[in-house]
């Protein structure tokens, strides 16, 4: 299935989908591979293509990875609740709804047809800011392209990073060479329940643009 969306509709309606993921409907490897092929057209530093894409569709491994995600979310919630980040997030009128949605995904992540863990070569924490920006910039555009490719085919995902509180354990589980690769996040892959999604509530561009000078 290809949704008939204009480029702007695709870009403005690709949401973090948590409550509307269809956990019952299988997703073929061919379809995930097709979306990754699209993703690999993204820009990346010196075209070195330092990315790797770990796709998990083994039920047992999905359950274990979802277990790590849930451990991490419990730990992170405590940090978040007491920290400045949580304080700022709570000021958003949509905060309670988002929290409920985050918890729904956490509770159902183990039911995902597949989970994707994109990786980039190198350990981020040992690099200077130029190298970090170059490495993140060499995988994040591709992940976003993957999410757009899913959306245009009637599937969805949610960008998640919380499992990185258990990155080492996830590396061990998935056989990722932790000293040489950094995981960028964890992405459920599923068909969406319905294909209508709205534009997000965001601050207007005029509030965040600085013309010529900050």
Ligand X SMILES: Cc1cc2nc3c(=O)[nH]c(=O)nc-3n(C[C@H](O)[C@H](O)[C@H](O)COP(=O)(O)O)c2cc1C
Site residues (vs ligand X, CB under 6 A): 15-16, 18, 98, 102, 105, 158-162, 200
Closest CA to 112 of 152, 148, 64: 64
Residue whose CB is less far from ligand X, 48 or 85: 85
CA distance 8 to 14: 10
DSSP string, 20-32: TEESSS---HHHH
Residue whose CB is less far from ligand X, 5 or 34: 5
CB 162 within 8 A of CB 73: yes
Find the helix or strand (DSSP H, E) in which 80 lies: helix 59-82
121 - beta bridge partners? 181
The distance of closest approach from Cβ of residue 86 to ligand X in the complex, given in angstroms and rounded to an integer, is 13
CB 199 within 8 A of CB 158: no
List, in sequence order, the alpha helices (H) in 91-212: 95-108, 129-136, 140-152, 167-174
The distance of closest approach from Cβ of residue 30 to ligand X in the complex, given in angstroms and rounded to an integer, is 27
Residue whose CB is less far from ligand X, 171 or 184: 184
Residue whose CB is less far from ligand X, 37 or 74: 74
The distance of closest approach from Cβ of residue 25 to ligand X in the complex, given in angstroms and rounded to an integer, is 20
The distance of closest approach from Cβ of residue 128 to ligand X in the complex, given in angstroms and rounded to an integer, is 21
Residue whose CB is less far from ligand X, 98 or 124: 98
The distance of closest approach from Cβ of residue 7 to ligand X in the complex, given in angstroms and rounded to an integer, is 18
CB 192 within 8 A of CB 17: yes
């Amino acid at each position: 299935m290809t949704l008939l969306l204009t480029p702007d509709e695709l870009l403005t309606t690709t949401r973090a989908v948590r409550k509307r993921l269809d956990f019952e409907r299988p997703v073929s490897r061919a379809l995930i591979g097709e979306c990754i092929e699209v993703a690999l057209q993204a820009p990346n530093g010196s075209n070195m293509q330092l990315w790797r894409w770990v796709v998990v569709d083994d039920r047992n491994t999905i359950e274990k990875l979802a277990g790590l995600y849930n451990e991490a979310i419990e730990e992170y919630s405590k940090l978040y609740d007491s920290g400045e980040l949580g304080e700022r997030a709570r000021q958003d009128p949509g905060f309670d709804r988002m929290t409920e949605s985050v918890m729904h995904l956490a509770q159902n992540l183990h039911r995902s047809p597949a989970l994707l863990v994109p990786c980039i070569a190198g350990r981020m924490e040992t690099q200077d800011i130029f190298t970090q920006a170059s490495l993140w910039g060499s995988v994040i555009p591709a992940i976003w392209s993957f999410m757009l490719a899913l959306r245009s085919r009637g599937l969805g995902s949610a960008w998640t990073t919380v499992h990185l509180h258990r990155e080492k354990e996830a590396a061990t589980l998935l056989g990722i060479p932790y000293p040489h690769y950094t995981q960028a996040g964890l992405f459920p892959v599923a068909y969406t329940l319905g294909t209508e999604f709205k534009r997000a509530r965001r601050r207007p561009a005029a509030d965040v643009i600085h013309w010529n000078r900050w």
